[in-house]
Structure 1
């Protein structure tokens, strides 16, 4: 404010001109210098310029720019006929500060005073529509812009694209974009971002290509948005290529790449990228970044990196904010490591008035199989009058026994969750798990709406309780309703056939997967067919099917064969299954014990001794509960 100081000194010698005072007000507006602006206001009064409408307008603009709406109002209200500049200053303040209703009120009052909007007013009003996600009002403003000849203005069009996209109307956003007579980088960035946030990821990448061909150079916002599109498509290596083209990646760039690899399960890569970011040291990890990395930490075995990140977060970020953002991820991470004490410590640091805190703890305990503790926390939550949300209820229902599950069902009725599909899906699973297929089916039938998870839950419920034909009938009903089955549907149906001995029906469904539905069977589907044949005693057919599989058999496949071999006392096939399990999991001591016992049953004593020696040679300890000698060998 050197200019202001110069004028203030000069004011002691002579009166300031209106031009000089205007210059000072402009500097105060740009630098948000409210105190100097007030002093200049005094000089205006002293010099007798306060009745000048031009100077009064400049004062309104200065106070609005400095975010002092009270003084802006006082000056504005003294104007006999506020001009478009005064109205613009007031509307900009309300729009900028998220006061959308006040912005609309002043906009309507401005028109009533026969002051018509221009290219500076309308973008502010449209941004207010965006704050309220009010597309109807935005559409009305768009029509008025056509009337007043502002509809092709660059800033107005950019604000329209942003408004339409955030209100979920990407088609209208694209229509505005295509009609623009000129575009800037913000225009392209806004539409690319709109496509990404609405899930039109391929279109976002395509538009990025058009932008480059039009001669626009991407900025950091463009690069980050395109990276996000690739990550959401699961093409994280493409996102990484984009990342390497950014001269100075910001924390959003790093976090986008980190969270992308975390989502597709490449957790070692996630940690590697984070370490690279920390070693470069140009950006600091924020809450979003730390939370994303913590998600990956729980999937990397033998790593203490999660605990190190926990300590790093406490040291570098506000403790309350850190636990609010990263607390749920920390709970799940410690649950994965079975560190109960650390879970309790994290929970105690989290906000107990937040339903997310309780839900995360219940989820972590459920993950550990500690159903009783999970239900205890749920009950304590009710005592403290923390209102459950749909995630809480969907999390607690799978660990409920029948009695508690019925109590939660009553809680759902009392608290108005009757139309929440996810909660009712969890209810179906709970009743099915507890053998109450009739009640589960009643819940299913009376649902106001169903999604693919609803059908899968009910089909799986029939299957786990031995009602294979009912599961097949429900699959047919599902197809007639227009819901297309997914991979889990077929897994549930095949499992239902397996548990009910419906071999021919199960094989028929398996072959229909690719012929009628266009699904390529995955490992779990092959495992279901093996289980189907093995349970029915068709062990030779099961082995032949394994040999014809286009994918490599895993432990689930041979585990099913081994279990059936024991049930049907087929030692030869059991030995084959156990031998394959040892090859698949060479450090699983239980497999060696099982194979040794199978050899004993087959009378192959030398092979049994060889397996025990092999186990000793790699220092494997016999797990508790296993015996090298089985009764009835």
Structure 2
């Protein structure tokens, strides 16, 4: 075999473009050197680097070796072709090629991306068999693969057995804990890491993310202050963290500071997070500013592809459906996320009929619906369409999880089919907190309080801890069913047995419960013992009950409280006047009428001032 001429070697080393590679390839084919392994491998690498996969594969099959397969793996990894990475590794092994320390990280990364745990464990065995176990980069890839596949026990074992660790090793195990719902362990690992390794910006970002997941946003902000040069991920984690705990005003402040400092430009993730906060705040003006800013710093397609859903729902939630449709027109109509966002926005805006039209158009275009589509549209479906969607879910065996079945339970409950709701609930293999709250609330609205309380007991036995919403549903059920004593006991159990602090909604439920039962004095005493100032809903429930039960003394006190809270609300005066009139206290009714006149108030339509000469 003739050796490749020195001139060819130099030309191959300097070859950078596909055109150069093709010309050089043609030239070499004219010589006896075209079978040289170095030539084949080098050209394979050049073709792969220049994205000519077909030519690269043809040469790889001609002379399979680890360098050629590595070039193919790098091509697929660069283009995020995770499945092809796995297939390329399989072909490498079929050709009896021994993988090396450059091959394993790429294929393990692909396993992590696809959550292919079983495949990852097989490759781990190859790592050991071919002597790559001591390589720190391979070890880091194994650690990351196990963490992203949810097996932190194996990730910990790989980490613990590492003869040496770099900052990437520490970052990987910390990130693994955060991603697998163990942020406190990530904080613990950081405490040890500081003694062995210098943290980098990825470390600080991961630590911030851990604190945010724990709800400790102030700690995350403290860590942020220690980063010498925060990157866009640092800012986004902080914005998202405060948003996750409902402090949306702070999110907006952080975003404005980020733009003001100007060291890094917000990316689409940061823009999406802050737009979500604008929606919760109902801050249309800031949302429009961010919309304009996003279009200024990036092209419209990129902006709408990622931030369009958040922007669309902001406009719809603020009543600007025209603007929502404008954003919708700029989004990808082949993407289910686009349609889900538009349907959600219309449902959120109270425009269920338009949401259903949008859903029908989505189906007409052949866009395949997913679990989010079903759970979003179900609340505005009538019983017929709701049953159709239920049949669709059952027929195609949706792997959409608990939220869809929760939505089905809710739909059947609000459409008066509590038996169907319970049937769906009973067949659910996995039930979360929302599942239990939905079925308990459903039975409550149907006046079946005893069943709701029985379900609450079953819920506690299932290992799912009730929350404040659970007790709101259960107390409401007691109120609608006249289970006053049971409801009072349940109210006090919230704190005694579950350590929950009642909020205003729970107090309102108890007042409503007592008032419905005619125990108006007890309701009034309960209000006076509330640790927080009663609002108009509490006093309004009591006043309405006083009118029904003709309790003048308590009604007068409730009306006075309401009038002090809302002196310009004519309905309070009318209710009190009616109570006086029905009790035959005409002078008091006339006095209330004069109070209304003195304030320049008009009688609301549909209400009467009985016996006052109106």
Do Structure 1 and Structure 2 share a fold, with TM-score over 0.5? yes
Rounded to whole Å, the distance in 2 between the matches of 1:237 and 1:626 is: 52
Return the match for 1:135 from 91, 102, 117. Answer: 117
Counterpart of 2:584?
none
Rounded to whole Å, the distance in 2 between the matches of 1:112 and 1:405 is: 51
Counterpart of 1:10?
none
The 3 A distance-change label for structure 1 pair 184 and 522 is same
Return the match for 2:497 from 510, 513, 516. Answer: 516
Offset at residue 186 of structure 1 (A)? 1.0
Rounded to whole Å, the distance in 2 between the matches of 1:492 and 1:330 is: 32
Deviation string 1:116-136 (CA, Å, 9 cap, x unpaired) is 333333333323433443222
Offset at residue 381 of structure 1 (A)? 3.5
Rounded to whole Å, the distance in 2 between the matches of 1:400 and 1:556 is: 30
Rounded to whole Å, the distance in 2 between the matches of 1:375 and 1:113 is: 55
The farther-off stretch of 523-532 and 544-553 is 544-553
Return the match for 2:406 from 425, 437, 442. Answer: 425
1:594 aligns with 2:572: yes
Counterpart of 1:172?
154
SS of the counterpart of 1:331? helix
1:265 aligns with 2:246: yes
Deviation string 1:535-570 (CA, Å, 9 cap, x unpaired) is 212222223223333444344433332332333233
Rounded to whole Å, the distance in 1 between the matches of 2:40 and 2:398 is: 56
What are the equivalent positions in structure 2 for 1:527-566 lying under 5 Å apart?
A: 527-566=508-547
SS of the counterpart of 2:498? coil
Counterpart of 2:127?
145
Counterpart of 1:375?
356
The farther-off stretch of 438-447 and 249-258 is 438-447
Counterpart of 1:476?
457
SS of the counterpart of 1:332? helix
The farther-off stretch of 488-497 and 50-59 is 50-59
Offset at residue 528 of structure 1 (A)? 1.8
The 3 A distance-change label for structure 1 pair 244 and 605 is farther
Rounded to whole Å, the distance in 2 between the matches of 1:438 and 1:87 is: 60
Offset at residue 156 of structure 1 (A)? 0.7
Counterpart of 2:191?
209
Offset at residue 184 of structure 1 (A)? 0.8
Rounded to whole Å, the distance in 1 between the matches of 2:22 and 2:522 is: 91
The 3 A distance-change label for structure 1 pair 300 and 509 is closer
Report if the CA contact (8 A) 1:261-1:269 is conserved: yes
Offset at residue 373 of structure 1 (A)? 3.0
Rounded to whole Å, the distance in 2 between the matches of 1:622 and 1:211 is: 71
Offset at residue 625 of structure 1 (A)? 4.5
Offset at residue 170 of structure 1 (A)? 1.8
SS of the counterpart of 2:486? helix
Rounded to whole Å, the distance in 2 between the matches of 1:174 and 1:550 is: 48
1:161 aligns with 2:140: no
The farther-off stretch of 413-422 and 544-553 is 413-422
Report if the CA contact (8 A) 1:444-1:454 is conserved: yes
Offset at residue 306 of structure 1 (A)? 1.5
Report if the CA contact (8 A) 1:559-1:581 is conserved: yes
Counterpart of 1:454?
435
1:630 aligns with 2:612: no
Return the match for 1:249 from 200, 213, 230. Answer: 230
Rounded to whole Å, the distance in 1 between the matches of 2:399 and 2:38 is: 61
The farther-off stretch of 495-504 and 565-574 is 565-574
SS of the counterpart of 2:226? coil
Counterpart of 2:446?
465
1:288 aligns with 2:266: no
Offset at residue 496 of structure 1 (A)? 0.6
What are the equivalent positions in structure 2 for 1:215-254 lying under 5 Å apart?
A: 216-254=197-235
Report if the CA contact (8 A) 2:574-2:603 is conserved: no
What's the TM-score, normalizing by structure 1? 0.83
What's the TM-score, normalizing by structure 2? 0.85
Rounded to whole Å, the distance in 1 between the matches of 2:336 and 2:61 is: 46
Deviation string 1:606-625 (CA, Å, 9 cap, x unpaired) is 78867876x68xxxx87965
Rounded to whole Å, the distance in 2 between the matches of 1:207 and 1:447 is: 38
SS of the counterpart of 2:104? helix
What are the equivalent positions in structure 2 for 1:579-590 lying under 5 Å apart?
A: 579-581=560-562, 589-590=568-569
Return the match for 2:470 from 483, 486, 489. Answer: 489
Rounded to whole Å, the distance in 1 between the matches of 2:93 and 2:549 is: 87
SS of the counterpart of 1:218? coil
Report if the CA contact (8 A) 2:156-2:173 is conserved: yes
SS of the counterpart of 1:513? helix
Deviation string 1:270-311 (CA, Å, 9 cap, x unpaired) is 111111122222322322222222112223356511122223
What are the equivalent positions in structure 2 for 1:313-352 lying under 5 Å apart?
A: 313-352=294-333
Offset at residue 479 of structure 1 (A)? 3.8
Report if the CA contact (8 A) 1:98-1:131 is conserved: no
Return the match for 1:394 from 355, 361, 375. Answer: 375
The 3 A distance-change label for structure 1 pair 589 and 217 is farther
Q: How many residues align?
A: 602
> CA-atom RMSD, angstroms?
3.6
SS of the counterpart of 1:274? helix
Structure 1 residues without counterparts, runs of 5 or longer: 1-15
